[in-house]
Amino acid sequence: METFFLFVGVITLTLWLVRRSTRARDDVARLTFERSQLERRVTLLEQDVAVLKAGPSHPTEAEQPSPADPLAAVPNAMHQLLRMKAEAAKAVAPAPGPVETVFLRPVAELALETVPIETVVPERARSVPPIQRPAIKPAFNWEQFVGVKLFAWLGGLALFFAAALGLKYSFDHDLVPPEVRAAGGFLLGAGLLIGGVSLKRKQYAVTSQTLCATGVVILYAVTFACRAFYHFNFFGPVPTFLLMALITATAFVLAVRLDGQVIAVLGMLGGFVTPVLLSTGEDNPLGLFGYVALLDLGLLAVTQRKRWDHLALLAAVGTVAMQVGWFAKFFEPEKIFIAQGVFLGFPLLFLGVFVWAKKRDWMNDHIAAASAILALVALALSFNFALGGTLGLLPGRTFTIAFGADLALLAMVALRPRLRFLESIGGSALFLLLSCWTLGRLTGGLLYWGLGLYLAFAVLHTVFPLALKKLRPDETPAAGLWTQFIPAAALLLAMLPIVRELTVPWLFWAVVLAVDLLAVVMALVAGALLGLLAVLVFTVAATAVWLSRSTAQAVDLSESVVVIGGFALFFFAASAFVWKKLLPSSSARGIGLWTPGSGATPALPFDVRPLIPSLSAVLPFLLLIMVVARFKPADPSAVFGLAALLLTLLLGLAKVTRIDSLVAVGLGSVWLLQAAWLQTSLDPHRAVVPLVWFIGFYAVLSAF
C-alpha cells in the first residue's frame, strides 16, 4: 500500500512539474520577445547619438534656423539631424507633401524612423568608426534554472528513486513474481524513453530530456537486478553486457541528439548509484567494474562528441567512489590480484583517453585532471597495501600498483610537459612509500627486493627527465631542483637497511655503484653538479654507517679496504671525466637546472666546481681513518697502500684540473691518516714497515 501511494505521489509531482515548466517556458518566451524589441530600439537610438557626436558642434550662418522655422526651439544638434532626415525624405518622396506633416511629427517617432544612415550622415562624418562595445557575457538565469530545469530534474530523479525503491521493496516482501517485476521495470523505462522522445523538443526540451534520463536510469537498475538478484538464465555475462551496452549507447545517443546534458548527467548518476541501491552484499568485482568501465566509456564518448568536458571529470570521480567503496567493504589480502586489475586498469583506461585526446586536439584540463585523479588514488591506496597486514611482506605484488600509477603519471607528463608537477608528486609519494616500508616492514629476507625497488626508483626518475628534455627540448619546462637529487634520495633509501642493522650483501655495493653512475650521467647531461656532490657525500655516509654499525663485526680489514678503494677510484675517474667534459665550459656557479629558451643555468653564491675533485680526494681518506680506528691494524700496509694510490691519483687530478689546493688537501689527508694510526695502532717493536711507508709518502710529495 505504501508503495502505491508513493507511486501516485510521484506521478502527481511529475505532472505538476510539467505544468509549471510549461508556464515558465511561455513566460520566458514572452520576456525574450519584449527584450528583443527593446534592444532594437536602443540600437537605433545609439546610432543617432553617434551621428550627433560626429556632426559640427556649432552650425554655420547658413544652417541657423529662421524664426519661422517650426524647429527653432529644438537644440541645434537635434535640429540638424531632423532637417537632414526631412530633406532625405523629400528627395525620395514621389510628390511633395505638406511640410507640416513632416516637421511637426513627434521627435521620438522621427528618432525611430528607418531611414538609412548613409542618406543623412554628412560626408565628413561618414569616416567616423562605429562604436565598439565589449562583449558582455549573459548572466546566469537563476529564475529559469530554478523554475524550469531544477524542478524538472528533481522530478526525474524522484521518479527514479521511487522506481528503484519500489523495486527494492518488492524484492524484500515478494509482492509480485520476479518475472513481472522485471517486465514492469523494463516497460516503465522504455515508456519514459518513448514519451520523452515523442515530446516536441523545442516546446518541452527540459521535460523531454528529464524523462529520457529517468528512463535510462530505470533500465540500468532493472538490468542489474536481473543479473545480480534473480540470476535469470537469459542474463548471463555476455547477454547482460550487451544489454547494458545497448542501454548506455541509447542514453548517450539521446544526449547527443537532444543536446541534453541532463540525460548524460542523470544517466551517469543513476549508473553509479544503481550497484549501491541494489547491492546484495556479495562481492562480484568482475561484474561491478566491467559495468563501471562500460559506463565510463559511454560518458567519455559523449564528452568527446559534445565537448562537455566536465563529464570526464565526473566520470573519474564516480569511478574513484566505486573503487574506494569496494576496497572498504570487500578487499582482503587474498584479492590483491583483483586489486591490481581494479586500481591499474582504470588509470590505463583514462590514460588511453588522454592519449586519444592529445591526438584529436581535444586536450583540456578536465581530461588531464580525470586521468591524474585515478593514478593518484591508486598511489595513495598503495600505502595501505604496503604498510598494512601481510601484504607488506609481498613487495612484488603490492609495489606493482605503486610503480604502475607512477608510470601513468610520467606518461601524462611525457604527452603534456606542462603537467611536470605530476612528476614531482609521483616521485615524492613513491619515495615516501619506500621509506615507510623499509623502516616498518623490511626484513633480511626481503633485502634483495628492497635493493631492486630502490634501484628501479632511481633509474625511473633519473632517466625520465633526461629523456623528456632530449625528446621535447622546446616544450619541456625547467626541471625542479629536487630532480637532480633523485640518485641521492635512492642512496638515502639504501642506507636505511644499514640503520636498521640488517646485514647487507655484496649486491648492496653494486646497487650503490649503479646509483652513483646515474648521478654522473645526470651531471654530464644536465650539469647537475649539486646532485653529484650529494651522491658523493651520501656514498661516503653509507660506507661510514656500514663501518660503524654492529652488523659490521663480521667484516674484516681487507673487505673494508676493497669497498673504500673501489668507490674512491670510481669518484676519482668520474671527477676527471666530468671536469674534462663539462666543468670548463659551464657557468662558474651553475647548478644544472634547465632554463627554457637558453643554455644558461641558475647560479649559486659560490663556485661549486672545485668541490667535486676536492671531496673525491678527502672523503676516502676519512673512511680510511675510520678503518684504522675500527680495526687498529698493527701492519698498516693495506691501508697505507690504498692511501698511496689515492695520493698519486689526487696529485694527477691536481695537474689535470690545475687546482693547486688539491696538493695541500693530499698532504693534509695523508698526515691525518698517519697521525690516526700512530695514536691507535703503533707497536714500537714493529716500526720498520710503517717507517718505510712514511718515507714513501714523503718521496711522492717531494717528487711532485
* Tally of CB atoms within 10 A around 202: 8
Q: What span, in angstroms and rounded, lies between the C-alpha atoms of 622 and 628?
A: 10
Task: Please give the grid coordinates belonging to residue 563.
Answer: 669497498
Which phi and psi (to 5°) does residue 652 adopt? -65, -40
| Confidence (pLDDT) at 359 | 86
Which phi and psi (to 5°) does residue 469 adopt? -65, -35
- For every residue of 530-578, DSSP letters joined together read HHHHHHHHHHHHHHHHHHHSGGGGG--HHHHHHHHHHHHHHHHHHHHHH
| Confidence (pLDDT) at 33 | 81
| Confidence (pLDDT) at 619 | 82
Task: Please give the grid coordinates belonging to residue 55.
Answer: 556632426
**C-beta of residue 412 within 8 angstroms of C-beta of residue 386:** no
Q: What span, in angstroms and rounded, lies between the C-alpha atoms of 193 and 159?
A: 13
**C-beta of residue 662 within 8 angstroms of C-beta of residue 615:** no
Q: Which residues, in sequence order, are CB contacts of 356 under 8 Å at separation 6+?
A: 304, 362
* Tally of CB atoms within 10 A around 157: 19
Angle at 350 between CA 344 and CA 351, to 5 degrees: 80
**C-beta of residue 527 within 8 angstroms of C-beta of residue 582:** yes
pTM for the full predicted model: 0.68
| Confidence (pLDDT) at 594 | 52
Q: Which residues, in sequence order, are CB contacts of 445 under 8 Å at separation 6+?
A: none
Residue type, 109: E
Place of cell 678503494: 565
Provide the CB-side half-sphere exposure for 605 (13 A, CA).
0
Question: In the chain, what are the helix, strand and coil shares in percent, each to the nearest 5?
Answer: 80, 0, 20
Strand partners, 45: none
**Spatial CA neighbour of 314 closest among 359, 378, 374, 363:** 374
Consecutive sets of 10 residues in the chain, 704 residues long: mean pLDDT of each? 48 57 70 84 81 59 48 50 56 47 44 45 46 46 49 59 62 68 83 79 70 81 78 79 79 79 76 75 85 86 83 92 92 91 93 89 87 94 87 89 94 89 92 92 90 93 87 72 84 89 84 88 78 86 79 68 86 79 51 47 57 78 86 87 89 81 87 90 85 90 87
Residue type, 478: A
**Spatial CA neighbour of 213 closest among 223, 224, 205:** 205
